[in-house]
Chain A
Amino acid sequence: MLEKITEIILRYVEVNREDIKPESRFMEDLGFTSYDFMSMLGEIEDELNVEVNQEEAANIRTVQEAVDYLERIS
């Protein structure tokens, strides 16, 4: 899952693959805007065929939290 999310993250922000760590925070460390973050969740929905709850997703801060959340709903 981490690998899959890393792939998708790289489509949104200009960072090096090795800079994407489980503890990386989307906004503070990876430079996501709130809108890019939302768009990425939409893309994850399509690719993983899951349904993301927007309110729950708003509390995701780190890559690991995203992995945990997506594993839970998959």
Chain B
Amino acid sequence: MNIVSSTIRDLLIVAEKEYNAQDAFRFKTKQVGADGKAETVIKSKSYTQLKNDSECFSKSLASLGEQEKHIAIIGSTSYAWVVAYFGIVNCGSVAVPLDAQLSAEELCELLNRADVTTLIYDENKSNVADMASSKCPQLKHFICLSKNSVLENTLYFEELIKQQEPGFECEIVPEKLATIMFTSGTTGKSKGVMLTHRNMAENATCLDMKFEPKTVLLSVLPIHHAYCLSMDILKGLYTGAIICINDSLMRVAQNIKLFKPNMILMVPLMIESMAKKLEDAAALPAHIVKENVFGSQFQTICSGGAYLNPAYIDLFKKYDINILQGYGMTECSPVISTNLLWENKTGSVGKIMPNCEAKTVDEELWIKGSSVMQGYYKMPQETADTLEDGWLKTGDLGYVDEDGFIFLTGRKKNLIITPNGENVSPEEIENKIGDNRLVQEILVRDSEGVIEAEIYPDYEYAEKKGITDILAELQKIIDEYNSNAPLYKRVFKLKLREVEFEKNTTKKIKRF
């Protein structure tokens, strides 16, 4: 298939027509076996079932009066999550996928800021639904993806679907807003990236990467991230893939053995870890090592989210595994460029997508094209700072060569990109830890892949309070912060400063 879909609705219709009874998803589920004990089995859902179920959910939302509304989904990757997503966007509503790792307070703040009227959540997040029922006055409906919820007045996803018949007509124009995705802001406040149907559908379908239908994909990245949603789910479905759901990051190795994937979308942190496993067994012949770690059917890793040392690409080649390094950001739906098997350059993050163009302004890379977001939700100033005449200022320093390959040379924006592709705003962490009286000045930065805080304490205050072991006291403050922060935002290194930080003319700490 080599045509471009301009709406997510069209993408699903085209995929279902082409691949109908073929498996679209495979996932693990627990059931009671003949011996009365719980056993894990693999279930599958076809392309037709996916389309039908999503239409049933669109109908349910319409009957609840939730068309043209903002609907949040909080939960890990599941078939129900994907059905909910298509059900939402294909009835004209806007899906707001949220990070399940955030605290209930932070999630409630995002629900309010995104004007969400229905919350869809999995049972692990009942505490969020509970808090939101009192803190989010705009919320009208709560829908639980699984069967158990402690919250009263909850609707159950499965029941809603069962109550409807497939078939739902709704005109969706490409310019319609489909999704708001939150991303870290440099001021410490996360920003809601507004993406239309055209943004997302064209990003997922404009480039033919020549993936064969029935390619088995294992989806391991968090689905609330644009990279996973676009590349694993939208592109996967469009190319006729069989998408296998990894139930936990703890079980990637086990699930590789179970589902036998041909391809996995990864972030550099995972590639580095896999490389260690390959090297640990390097004394054995390469094909046996590959068989043990990935299975002989494994062929391709798509890498994105953060910088990958090109040495890994060569290392994996030894095992007959191709790493296709790409580059993107949520604001660009998200893929900006990717290397392909037949079109790649070492050191580059790939050739720019056919729906985009790039230029360099004052060393910064700017992108224009149908993937570029509409702006940040209800943040006109931040939008104006980022978009200029349709050009997206990426915040990355780099250039495009004469063949359209992008090379990155550094970052302009002050954002930590962790090796697992999460963007973390240092200011957000600095503000949280800096609230403490003992912390006079703080600087948060990346240090060899982990987040480090350097603190200049208020020595006078410490003396007044009789604090002798300042480092231990500061560690307590960090521990307290860490206990409420998701894993990727935790501070794992602490540095004590004896002199104040150097400041620039506006009295701000000089970061570099």
Contact = CB atoms under 8 A, between A and B. Distances in A.
Interface of A: 11, 27-28, 33-36, 38-39, 41-43, 45-46, 52, 54-55, 57-59
Interface centre among B249, B250, B490 (most CB of A within 10 A): B250
Which 8 interchain pairs have the tightest Cβ spacing? A42-B250, A38-B249, A41-B250, A42-B251, A27-B492, A38-B250, A35-B269, A34-B487
Nearest to A36: B273
Given A27-B492, A28-B492, A54 B249 contact: yes
A45 B40 CA distance: 14
Interface residues of B, number: 23
B250 A45 contact: yes
B74 to A, nearest CB: 13
Interface string B475-490: 0000000010001101
A39 B253 contact: yes
Contacts of A34: 269, 420, 487-488
Contacts of A55: 124
B270 interface: yes
Nearest to A37: B487
A59 B490 CA distance: 11
Contacts of A45: 250-251
B107 to A, nearest CB: 14
A5 B326 CA distance: 37
Given A33-B419, A38-B249, 11 more contacts: A27-B490, A27-B492, A34-B487, A35-B269, A35-B273, A35-B420, A36-B273, A38-B248, A39-B253, A42-B253, A57-B250
A43 B492 contact: no
A33 B449 contact: yes
Interface centre among A34, A46, A55, A57 (most CB of B within 10 A): A34
Interface in B457-512: 483, 487-488, 490, 492-493
B254 interface: yes
A52 B248 CA distance: 10
Contacts of B207: none
Contacts of B254: 42, 46
Contacts of A39: 249-250, 252-253, 273
A54 B419 CA distance: 20
A42 B250 CA distance: 4
Contact of A33 (B250, B269, B280): B269
Nearest to B125: A55
